[in-house]
Each structure stands twice: as C-alpha cells, then as structure tokens.
Amino acid sequence: MSYGAFPSALSLALMLGAGLAQAQDANLGRNLAATCANCHGTNGHARGDMQPLAGVSAERLTALLAGYKSGAQTGTIMQQIAKGYTDEQIRLIAAHFAAQPARN
C-alpha cells in the first residue's frame, strides 16, 4: 500500500477546507475590527483621548491586546474587553488595523 498517498490526500483536503473557510470569512477581520470603531474610530481613525489603531503594526497590536487579555497590561476598560476575543480573532483585528492608512 502506498503510505505516501495518505498524507497528500489529507493535505489536499485541508487545503480545500482552508480555502473554503477563507472564502467565506474574507470579511471577518473587517467585521471584527468594526466592533472597536465606536471608541477607536472608523477603521481605527480615533479622535479625542482614544488610542488610534489605524496603521499600528499587527505585532504591536497583538502584543497589546494579549497583554490586556492576560492582565499584564493594565487599563480602565481594555482588560475587560480583550478577554472577549479569541487569539485568532485578535490576530484578524490586528491585521485589519495594520492595513489601514495611519491618517484618514
């Protein structure tokens, strides 16, 4: 029996599955990031005392949110909100804001 055929069939299935999921959720990062806009501005273009998120690197945002989530980073409210999002959701949110121009 061909041992090698099994992993390649599996990887093909995985690729197809990933492809479908990606096609369906192409707007997931955008939609998730929109939950932040009430305070941080549309697409992260914040006003007033709020932290702008547009154009902030994905690494920095992910680290910040992970810090709020773990409690390492203190704040008035973000430590409560960050705990509502999975690590994967945070990754998608960070990628969306990183891709926005820093200025509106």
Partner 1 sequence: MTSTFIHRRRLLGAGAALAATAVAGCASTASGPSIGRVVVVGGGYGGATAARYLKLWGGNVEVTLVERNTEFVSCPISNLVLGGYKQMAEITKSYGGLRAVGVKVRNGEVTAIDAAAKKLRLADGSELPYDRLVLSPGIDFMTDSIGGLAPALNSGRVLHAWKAGPQTVALNRQIEGMSDTGVFALFIPRAPYRCPPGPYERACVVASYLKANKPRAKLLVLDANPEITSKKGLFETAFKSYGTLLEYRANAELKELSGNVAKLEFEDVRAEVLNVIPPQRAGDLARRAGLLNMNDRWVGVNWLTMEATAAPGIHVLGDATFSAPGMPKSGHMANQHAKVAAAAIIQLLKGDPVNATPMVMNTCYSFVSGTDAMHVASVHQYDAVDKTFKTVPGSGGVSAASSLIEGRYALSWAQNIWADSLAL
Judged by CB, which is closer to partner 1: 2, or 38?
Answer: 38
Structure token pair of residue 29: 């990062």
Judged by CB, which is closer to partner 1: 11, or 27?
Answer: 27
Closest distance to partner 1 from the beta carbon of 5 (Å): 33
Judged by CB, which is closer to partner 1: 47, or 60?
Answer: 47
Query: What is the C-alpha separation between 89 and 74, in angstroms, rounded?
Result: 21
Judged by CB, which is closer to partner 1: 82, or 98?
Answer: 82
Closest distance to partner 1 from the beta carbon of 77 (Å): 5
Is residue 54 within 8 A of residue 45, CB to CB? The reply is: yes
Is residue 98 within 8 A of residue 62, CB to CB? The reply is: no
Rule CB under 8 A: which residues touch partner 1? 24-25, 27-28, 30-32, 34-35, 37-42, 46-50, 76-77, 80-85, 89
Closest distance to partner 1 from the beta carbon of 29 (Å): 11
Query: What is the C-alpha separation between 93 and 69, in angstroms, rounded?
Result: 14
Under 8 Å CB-to-CB from 18, ≥6 apart: which residues?
Answer: none
